[in-house]
Amino acid sequence: MTFLIHLGRLASIQRFLLSTALMASFVGLSACAVAPDPLSGSDIARASQDRFSEAFAGQEPVKGAIDLSEAMARAVLYNLDDRVQVAESLLRSRELASASAAMLPSLTSSASRNLRNKVDASSSYNLSSGSNNFNASTSQDERLNSANAALAWNVLDLGLSYVRAQQSADQFLAAEERRRRVLARLVEDVRTAYWRALAADYLSRELPKVEARAREALEQSRVLIKDGNISPQTALAYQKEIYEIQDRVQSVQTEVATAKAQLASLMNLPPGTPFTLVRPKAAPAARPLPDAKNMMASALDYRPEVREALYQERITGRDQLIAVLETLPSANLFVNANTTSNTYTLNKEWLGYGAQASWNLMRVFTLPLRQAEAEAKENLAQERARALVSTLALQVAISRDRYAQARRRLQTAGDFQSVQSELLEQLKASTSAARSGEQELVREELSSLLARARFDVAYAEVQGAWASVQTTMGRDPYPELGSKDLKELKEAFRAKLSGREPVQRRAEMPTMPAAVEPAVIMAEAPVGTNE
């Protein structure tokens, strides 16, 4: 009978606890129900405005004309694509720190306070005599405080954490190589856009003047036809020449029209920011190409893509080691300090220590599968590295051909400009110029403008092709980037461009060959002062 009474009480308690749990769950789920909350138009507008302001915040304002070294410095400091790579490198650095910290032992502490409304009492039953040993007794206070601090170190986790920390270190180095690639491409794009923007500036300044004179000359030819002072065939042939030259000049202008906007974007200038450029007083000569074998050897040694692939191989290679380590038994060493307020405990403060071993045998059976997966990843990384060699060979060949073609075009454009300038000067000084009239002079002025524009575009192409050669060889076209000051970085770029940068070594990689410039940097002046 007593057993049945206890059983009924236990069932009542269970029903009460179940009802309470169901009610609490219903209330909790009702309170935690989430409805879609779309962004309002004001939220989107405010966020867009904040992002726009943040994109151009912290920049040095443009003061005076911008030369090539300042354009490169601004691009490196303020370009948003590079900021993304900087953020990724910072993330990998934080991941490395976290992976290193994972090798430390775990230190946990806990404290508790337990209250009871009734005494925790019990008795025992003697199986031999068939009677109770003693009356009910207790060994625990109704109010109990306890605390614990435990230091534990899992040996297997230590080994796994060490290997994963090595992988995180390689991921950080790979991120640094990706930033090298982005920076090299950024500086290359700045160089090309800068020289093309100079050509666009010259055309936008000089073309309206010559076109105004061309319109006057065309109108004069129409008047001469009307008055019968010249044959229509001769006048129409002249007009055709003028229009053809104008069309070629405008084609060149269209080709470089967006260069200044591209340069502003690379420097991350706020939209609409006015700026002028500095043009060298004289056009320097191009340099010969390096040997093809040396270019390929340099590319294989220094290209960031190659180094990133090697780091990736090391990362995937360590996956096999991780797969093996995970199959080993785990040993856990621990020591803990304890305290309790229980008045029935003789030693209220004590130390505990020991070791515990465990082994997940299923890991042993799945080892071949995980090793096969790791080997497949490593093979994929190796195949990508091999494919990269073929890509590098193609890029070396293309960069060499592009630079050679650009040099030939520059030579032709320079010869054409020289002949055209001499022809124009002789026409201006010749006594026959007065007889030939203004029309022939306007035609040659248009031709001279076209020759100058073609030379500027050809020189911009040489600059871009040479930058591509340097990038293909893996030569960094930028100085050491320790400073965040625009003025200091500008001077560093100026020294780099002039070949005065000291040779510096990198601890984590072989010495980088210096990027040879295709030209000696000469005295510079704002656009328009030395034409």
Which of the 8 DSSP states describes residue 353? E
The full set of domains in the chain, from first to last, is 62-99+159-212+256-320+369-503+510-526 (1.20.1600.10)
User: pLDDT band at residue 379, thresholds of 50, 70 and 90?
Assistant: confident
Higher pLDDT, 298 or 139: 298
Q: How far apart are CA 187 and CA 71, in angstroms?
A: 9
Q: Supply the pLDDT for residue 397.
A: 92
The answer to whether the beta carbons of residues 67 and 280 sit under 8 Å apart is no
Q: Supply the pLDDT for residue 524.
A: 38
Q: How many CB atoms lie within 10 A of CB 327?
A: 18
Any idea of the CA torsion for 496, 497, 498, 500, to the nearest 10 degrees?
Answer: 10
Q: Supply the pLDDT for residue 513.
A: 36
Q: Supply the pLDDT for residue 4.
A: 47
Tens digits of residue pLDDT in 166-218: 888 888 888 888 888 888 888 888 998 998 888 888 888 877 777 777 777 77
Q: Supply the pLDDT for residue 55.
A: 62
Tens digits of residue pLDDT in 260-277: 888 888 888 888 888 888
266 vs 78, 190, 271, 382, 480, CA distance in Å? 8, 7, 12, 35, 20
Higher pLDDT, 401 or 429: 401
Q: Supply the pLDDT for residue 183.
A: 87
3-state DSSP assignment of residue 453:
helix
Q: How far apart are CA 171 and CA 93, in angstroms?
A: 9
pTM of the model: 0.72
Q: How far apart are CA 67 and CA 62, in angstroms?
A: 11
Helix count and strand count (H, E) for the chain:
13, 10
Q: Supply the pLDDT for residue 79.
A: 81
Q: Supply the pLDDT for residue 130.
A: 72
CA R_g for the chain: 40
User: pLDDT band at residue 57, thresholds of 50, 70 and 90?
Assistant: low
Tens digits of residue pLDDT in 268-318: 888 888 888 888 765 555 567 888 888 898 888 888 989 988 898 889 888
The sign of the torsion formed by the CA atoms of 241, 243, 244, 250 equals positive
Per-residue pLDDT at 59 exceeds 50 = yes
Tens digits of residue pLDDT in 458-501: 888 888 888 889 889 888 887 777 777 888 888 888 888 776 54
Reading the block at residue 503, the tokens are 């040779």
